[in-house]
Amino acid sequence: MVHRPDAIPMNYLAHLFLGGEEPLEKLGGLIADFTRGRLETLAKRYPEKVIRGIAVHRRLDHFTDLHDHVMQSKARFSPLRRRYAGIIVDVLHDHYLSRHWERYSNVSRDAFIEDAYRLLRDYRRYLPERMRRVAPVMIEQDWLGSYQHIEEIGRVYERMSRRLRRPNTLAGAIEEVQTHYSELESDFKNFFPDMLTHANHVNKLPAIDGVRYSAESSEA
């Protein structure tokens, strides 16, 4: 869950799933990639529960980046794409979560996704401008539901490649994903139980704890 300087969010489904039970906490987890700066500053703009969601998102990103199985996944990619392996793996985690949903949740995937779209509609006033532009397209095209299909993941990489401001090798990344699909899937299955345990822990922490994460390096 690497931070994107270009604010191109990826793993919406995982962050919604791992966020708190409160709707505004889930919303905070969803919009976190569209926010920059210290939580103390963002607290002047968003309700407390949204700030909690943003804080949880940043802590989960930090945990993910350092996890052995995630680093193992990144190492499976060629030197050509190694720089973007974190982004590639992030997107892929939503795919594997969607594919193995029943392993991790008692709520149906379709019901969960519909609740997520309702969240975006009901709390539109809290969405950052860029997210406000994305949300209607996300709902209309059912991004969250489409992640179960590996072909759609390939299209996500293509769109992200076009949106990044600098030259990149995301386009065509799906070919390497398909080459290592089973190994990457195994990495995810080994990683995600640890992530669930960590998410349960960080959802209980105070939002502002004095620890700085990468997204706090500049103001929103």
Q: Which of 4-13, 74-83, 211-220 has the lowest mean pLDDT?
A: 211-220
**Rounded mean pLDDT, 213-220:** 47
* pTM, 2 dp: 0.89
C-alpha 157: how far from chain center: 14
- Do residues 203 and 20 touch, judged by C-beta distance below 8 A? yes
Once rounded to an integer, what is the mean pLDDT over residues 128-139?
92
State yes or no: pLDDT of 216 exceeds 60: no
Express each pLDDT in 142-153 by its tens digit.
Answer: 999 999 999 999
The pLDDT score that the predictor gives to residue 165 is 84
Torsion angle of alpha carbons 107, 111, 115, 118, nearest 10°?
Answer: 180
pLDDT of residue 155: 93
If one counts every other C-beta atom within 10 angstroms of the C-beta of residue 112, the result is 15
